[in-house]
Amino acid sequence: MQVAKEWLKQNKLLPKLSLKENKEVIVALLGGELVEFTDPKGRAKKGLRLYVVHQKEVKTILTTSYQLIQQLAEIPEGSVIRIRKKFVNQKTVYEVELTKKPEEVADQLLPYVEKLRQYKEEVGGEIEKTKEEVEKEIEQKALEESF
C-alpha cells in the first residue's frame, strides 16, 4: 500500500522484515547495529538490528536469537544470504546459507548502500523509533487536532 510506504518515509522508519512470518528469506546484508529495546511485555532486551535489501527495498530485521547472530557473525557485509527457519524439538532454529559473496554483488548493492547512508543521516544516527513512541506521537497529534 503506497500510502503506508509514504507514512513510513515521513516518519523516518524503514520497513521491517519479520523472520517470524517467513520460513525462508533471501536478503543482501548491508550492515547492522546492536540495540536495546523493550519487548511488548515490557522486558528489556538486547539484540541485533540488521539492515538488509529484500525485494529491491532497504528493510530492517530485529533479532535476539543468539543462534542466528552467531551464524551471521561469520558472514561478511555485502553478502547475499538465505535464512531458513525450522522448528526442532519445539525450538526455532535458523540456518544461514551464503548464496553470493560481496564481490559478486557489490555493484548491484551500491544504490541501496547510498539509501541507507541517507536514511542514517536523516535520523542523525538515532535508533529507529519504537512502535510505542510512534503510537504515542499519533495519539498526541490526534488530540491536538481534535481541539
93-113: pLDDT as tens digits: 999 999 999 999 988 998 898
pTM equals: 0.75
Pairing verdict, β 44-54 and 91-100: unpaired
The whole-angstrom separation of Cα 100 and Cα 82 is 10
CA torsion 101-104-108-113 (nearest 10°) is 40
* Lookup result for grid cell 547510498: 114
Rounded Cα distance, 46 and 142, in Å: 32
Q: Is residue 147 pLDDT above 60, yes or no?
A: no
Minimum mean pLDDT range among 1-10, 62-71, 115-124 = 1-10
The residues, ordered by sequence, that sit 6+ positions from 31 with a Cβ below 8 Å of its Cβ are 50, 51, 77, 116
Amino acid letter at 90? Answer: Q
Calculate what percentage of the chain has a pLDDT beyond 90.
Answer: 46
More confident residue, 85 or 20: 85
Phi, psi of 90 (to 5 degrees): 65, 20
- Computed over every residue of the chain, the mean pLDDT equals 84
Which amino acid, residue 102?
Answer: P
Count the Cβ atoms, other than its own, within 10 Å of residue 54. Answer: 16
Which amino acid appears at position 23 of this protein?
K
Q: What is the pLDDT of residues 48-60, one digit of tens each?
A: 999 999 999 999 9
Residue 125, pLDDT score: 46
- For residue 131, the model assigns a pLDDT of 57
Domain count, the chain: 1
Domain that holds residue 26: 2-146
Within 8 A by CB and 6+ apart from 83, the residues are 19, 24, 25, 26, 27, 68, 94, 95, 96
